Structure formats: structure tokens, C-alpha cells
Amino acid sequence: MGRVDDMASEEDSKKQRISKYIDENLKQVFSDLVDDDMPDQIVDLLSVLRAQDQERNTKK
């Protein structure tokens, strides 16, 4: 019985290691993408939206 428990425990430990490995790689992949430069079209869009808000507030 103890041997069966040991095997189950080893299997759980291996699954945990695999999950940890996968999650660490996922975080690395995501982190690399977060570091990507923001595209000009988004930066420009934000400028336009801010300007529109400002214009609206001035008119009020």
C-alpha cells in the first residue's frame, strides 16, 4: 500500500513540476510580448481621444 502511495505521490510531484514549467514559460512568453513597443496607431489614437475629451470639457 505504501508503495502505491509513493508512486501516486511521485506522479503528483511530476505533474506539479510540469505545470510549474509550463506556467513559468507562459509568463516568460507573455512578459516578452508586454515589453514590445506600443504601435504608433495606438499612441496616435490615444492622443486623438484625449484631445476630443479636452475639447468637450472646454465647451462645457
Partner 1 sequence: MSNLDPKDELVTHLPALRAFALSLTRNRATADDMMQDTVLKAWSNMSKFQPGTNMRAWLFTILRNNFYTSRRKLNREVADIDNVYAEKLAVKPEHDGRLQMMDFKQAFDQLPDEHREALILVGANGFSYEDAGNMCGVATGTMKSRVSRARNKLSELLSLEDDEALELTDAATMAVVGSPRMPST
Residue ranges binding partner 1 (CB under 8 A): 14, 17-36, 38-39, 41-42, 45-46, 49, 53
Give the position of cell 504601435: 39
CA atoms within 13 A on the CB side of 59: 6
Min dist CB 34 to partner 1, Å, is 5
Nearer to partner 1, 7 or 18 (CB): 18
Of 16, 45, 51, 13, the C-alpha closest to 59 is 51
Nearer to partner 1, 1 or 14 (CB): 14
Kindly state the greatest CA–CA separation across the chain: 79
Min dist CB 13 to partner 1, Å, is 11
